[in-house]
């Protein structure tokens, strides 16, 4: 996700801003920019690509003199990477500059209102709306102006702002996106994350939601959403820079697991308005949705696993036939496609060679294509007819977690939308689904709180040689992802199996003490899977069951039970995967594996 920095003090601001942005590079970005007050004007310099480009353009900041400024590394969400879309953004008279990390959910409505008031926009971003909104409400008092926009902007933001006629100050405010303030000996700083300020200070203030910070060279003032001054205590950071980049987590994978509530919220909320699903980027009329004869979901790895789950949901809820393919298979099997088919390519990176080739095959055969992609402006995002972004932010760990969870909810939204448009579910049922979907973030948060219990269980299986994951229906799809997570980060052989298929051969592999994780979240299949558990245990397996709260009968059948909160049967994947992610993570850590960069693997497989 984006990174913001700001500085005001005795030193030249630009080099400090560039240095701070370099400490946020790990967050992933595609463009960068800085704004510095040079004593007369606010000067802005932006550049697409690596931070090095911006540093070279500004001779490491030397061409931008001034002692106060803000900076930004952009992870594109609204509008592809470009100079116009890069931050900082000005108001029209260039008397205000702003940088932003987060997603303004009502930016289109605000933009329309501002355009009606003759405001001209230079970019496609949600952030530029903030710059003009600040201009619209500004009557000379920055804090009062900031409180006004806080009451009108919906979504998540960490903002850094400078006002030309308040040159001795830097302003910052946050809601749901991280923001810290550093109190240095020769100046004060703002940043999205601790690494950006550690070189200058370890005295940090963590800004809470809807708090405003006003920095001068010497002091820092804090205000609430009503513009009243508040007191805050600083914290002394004792992390080293490496730990700080992971936000204090030991690995990026763990950090990203704990970001899942937020990425699910960020992917869901902008697409649920007045209790209706609004997927503007889909660009398909109801008639076009009704005319779709068949859906093909094509992907690799974990993305493919979300597609297997989505098949059960589209077919169960919308009664549309769905075929799910591994991209490496799809691209060579001469698939039968036509214009009444929709091919959905799912890809975190948007650069996976097999998935990109599958997309091109689908287009060549005249099918409609939709990308569900995390990286804005990536090849699959650009080449698909339509793209639906998963706003998970950059995923650093090779093993996907938060992007996988965001892909799931994107597919849930599509399935509910299609079912509703095709008249397969009522308005009331849509309301029920949306209620369940909007509870998922807090339920994921609750499950992440079980990490000690799962770590304790995982430590028993560090020496395991073979682990099986079994389930039926959506539970089989969940098993696939659980198995892949364990394999890719702990190097333990594992296999996912349809529980009903075990007796056709594979059950011969079960020995005394073999660990089998049984996923049992589909109520109508409880009894069937429980009988498989009994078969497995009678052959010596140790069965870990992941099941819904309230499923007491499982206690008698399994050796160890992990419960997930109640949700709609179609959405249990988002919850059941959490304990399985944690299990794999702690087995890998216990084995001393390189969790974030497992052997033989790449984050994006851009070759066949």
Q: Report the catalytic residues.
A: 2, 603
The Cα 586–Cα 486 span in angstroms is 10
Q: Is residue 353 involved in binding ligand AGP (CB under 6 A)?
A: no
Sign of CA dihedral 259, 261, 267, 269: negative
Name the segment binding ligand AGP (CB under 6 A); options: 179-187, 267-275, 395-403, 432-440.
395-403
Residue whose CB is less far from ligand AGP, 149 or 308: 308
Residue 399 is a binding residue for ligand AGP (CB under 6 A):
yes
**Under rule CB under 6 A, residue 303 binds ligand AGP:** yes
Q: Measured from the CB atom, is 108 or 357 closer to ligand AGP?
A: 357
Question: For ligand AGP, which stretch binds (CB under 6 A), given 31-39, 224-232, 397-405, 561-569?
Answer: 397-405
In 327-417, beta strands by DSSP E? 341-347, 368-373, 386-389
Q: How far apart are CA 467 and CA 82, in angstroms?
A: 47
Which residue, 11 or 604, is less far from ligand AGP as judged by CB? 604
Contact status: 572 vs ligand AGP (CB under 6 A):
no
Residue 400 binds ligand AGP (CB under 6 A): yes
Bridge partner list, 558:
none
Name the residue nearer to ligand AGP (CB basis): 402 or 569: 402
Name the DSSP letter for residue 315: I
**What are residue 542's DSSP bridge partners?**
515
Q: Kindly state the tokens that stand for 385.
A: 């007819």
Nearest approach, Cβ of residue 393 and ligand AGP (Å): 14
Which parts of 277-296 interact with ligand AGP (CB under 6 A)? Answer: none
Q: If we measure between CA atoms, which residue out of 474, 581, 556 comes closest to residue 520?
A: 474
Query: Contact between 201 and ligand AGP (CB under 6 A)?
Result: no
In a 10 Å sphere around its CB, with 0-12 CB exposed, 13-18 middle and 19+ buried, how is residue 550 labelled? exposed
Instruction: Return d(Cα 61, Cα 18) in angstroms, integer.
Output: 7
CB 497 within 8 A of CB 506: yes
Q: Considering the rule CB under 6 A, would residue 126 count as an interface residue with ligand AGP? A: no
Indicate the residue whose CB is closest to ligand AGP: 301
73 makes contact with ligand AGP (CB under 6 A): no
CB 429 within 8 A of CB 317: no
Span of 133-141, 346-354, 444-452, 549-557 interacting with ligand AGP by CB under 6 A:
346-354
Counting contacts by CB under 6 A, is residue 306 touching ligand AGP? no
Binder of ligand AGP out of 243, 291, 498, 605 (CB under 6 A): 605
CA gyration radius for the chain?
25
Give Cα separations from 72 to 28, 50, 52 (angstroms). 12, 12, 13
Is the Cβ of residue 135 or residue 256 nearer to ligand AGP in the bound state?
256
Stretch that binds ligand AGP, among 156-164, 178-186, 393-401, 540-548 (CB under 6 A): 393-401
For residue 302, state whether it binds ligand AGP (rule: CB under 6 A): yes
Cβ nearer to ligand AGP, comparing 75 with 542: 75
Instruction: Note whether 398 binds ligand AGP by CB under 6 A.
Output: yes
Cβ proximity to ligand AGP: between 379 and 568 the closer is: 379
CB of 410 closer than 8 Å to CB of 307: no
Q: Does 390 bind ligand AGP (CB under 6 A)?
A: no
300 is an interface residue for ligand AGP by CB under 6 A: yes
Is residue 164 within 8 A of residue 41, CB to CB? The reply is yes
**Residue 604 sits in the site that holds ligand AGP (CB under 6 A):** yes
347 binds ligand AGP (CB under 6 A): yes
Give per-residue burial for 239-261: e unless 16+ CB within 10 Å, then b. Answer: eeeeebbbbeeebbbbbbbbbbb
348 binds ligand AGP (CB under 6 A): yes
User: Going residue by residue from 470 to 499, which x/- string records binding to ligand AGP, judged by CB under 6 A?
Assistant: ------------------x-----------
Rounded alpha-carbon distances, angstroms, from residue 301 to 2, 409, 443, 484, 571:
27, 17, 25, 8, 20
The strand order across the sheet containing 560-564 reads 493-498, 466-471, 515-520, 542-548, 560-564
Site size toward ligand AGP, by CB under 6 A: 15
Q: Is 219 left (phi over 0), alpha (psi -120 to 50) or beta?
A: beta
Least CB distance from residue 81 to ligand AGP, whole Å? 18
Pick the binder of ligand AGP from 20, 178, 195, 301 (CB under 6 A): 301
**Residue numbers at the binding site for ligand AGP (CB under 6 A):** 300-303, 347-349, 352, 355, 398-400, 488, 604-605
């Amino acid at each position: 996700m984006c990174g913001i920095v700001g500085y005001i003090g005795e030193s030249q601001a630009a080099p400090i801003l560039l240095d701070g942005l370099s400490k946020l590079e790990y967050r992933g970005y595609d463009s960068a920019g800085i704004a510095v007050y040079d004593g007369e004007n606010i000067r802005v310099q932006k550049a697409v690509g690596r931070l090095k480009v911006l540093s070279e353009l500004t001779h490491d900041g030397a061409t931008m003199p001034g002692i106060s400024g803000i900076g930004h590394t952009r992870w594109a969400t609204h509008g592809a990477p470009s100079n116009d879309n890069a931050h900082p953004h000005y108001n029209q008279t260039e008397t205000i500059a702003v940088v932003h990390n987060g997603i303004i959910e009502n930016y289109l409505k605000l933009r329309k209102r501002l355009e009606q008031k003759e405001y001209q926009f230079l970019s496609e971003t949600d952030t530029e709306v903030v710059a003009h909104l600040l201009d619209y409400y500004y009557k000379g008092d920055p804090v009062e102006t900031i409180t006004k926009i806080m009451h009108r902007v919906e979504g998540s933001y960490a903002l850094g702002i400078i006002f030309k006629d308040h040159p001795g100050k830097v302003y910052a405010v946050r809601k749901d996106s991280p923001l810290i303030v550093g109190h240095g000996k020769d100046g004060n700083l703002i940043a999205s994350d601790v690494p950006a300020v550690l070189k200058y200070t370890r005295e940090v203030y963590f800004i809470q939601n809807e708090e405003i910070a006003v920095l001068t060279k010497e002091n820092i003032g804090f205000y609430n959403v009503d513009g009243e001054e508040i007191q805050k205590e600083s914290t002394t950071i004792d992390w080293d820079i490496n730990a700080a980049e992971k936000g204090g987590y030991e690995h990026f994978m763990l950090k990203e697991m704990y970001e899942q509530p937020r990425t699910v919220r960020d992917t869901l909320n902008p697409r649920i308005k007045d209790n209706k699903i609004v997927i503007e980027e889909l660009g398909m009329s109801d008639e076009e949705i009704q005319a779709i004869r068949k859906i093909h979901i094509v992907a690799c790895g974990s993305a493919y696993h979300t597609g297997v789950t989505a098949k059960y949901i589209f077919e169960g809820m919308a009664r549309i036939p769905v075929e799910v393919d591994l991209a490496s298979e799809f691209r060579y099997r001469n698939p039968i496609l036509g214009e009444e088919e929709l091919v959905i390519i799912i890809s975190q990176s948007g650069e996976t060679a097999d998935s990109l080739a599958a997309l091109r095959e689908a287009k060549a055969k005249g099918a409609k294509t939709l990308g569900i992609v995390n990286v804005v402006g990536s090849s699959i995002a650009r080449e698909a007819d339509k793209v639906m972004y998963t706003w998970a932010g950059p995923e650093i760990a090779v093993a996907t977690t938060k992007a996988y969870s965001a892909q799931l909810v994107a597919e849930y939204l599509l399935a509910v939308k299609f079912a509703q448009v095709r008249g397969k579910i009522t308005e009331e049922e849509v309301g029920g689904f949306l209620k369940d979907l909007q509870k998922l973030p807090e339920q994921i948060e609750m499950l992440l709180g079980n990490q000690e219990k799962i770590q304790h269980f995982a430590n028993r299986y560090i020496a395991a040689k073979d682990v099986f994951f079994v389930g039926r229906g959506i539970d089989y799809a969940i098993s696939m992802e659980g198995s892949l997570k364990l394999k890719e980060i702990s190097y333990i052989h594992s296999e996912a199996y349809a529980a009903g298929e075990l007796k056709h051969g594979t059950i011969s592999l079960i020995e005394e003490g073999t660990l089998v994780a049984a996923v049992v979240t589909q109520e109508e299949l409880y009894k069937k899977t429980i009988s498989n558990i009994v078969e497995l245990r009678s052959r010596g397996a140790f069965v870990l069951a992941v099941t819904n709260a309230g499923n007491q009968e499982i206690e008698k059948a399994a050796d160890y039970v992990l419960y997930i909160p109640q949700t709609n049967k179609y959405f249990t994947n988002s919850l059941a995967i959490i304990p399985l992610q944690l299990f794999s993570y702690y087995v890998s850590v216990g084995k001393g594996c390189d969790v974030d960069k497992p052997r033989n693997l790449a984050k994006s497989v851009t070759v066949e």
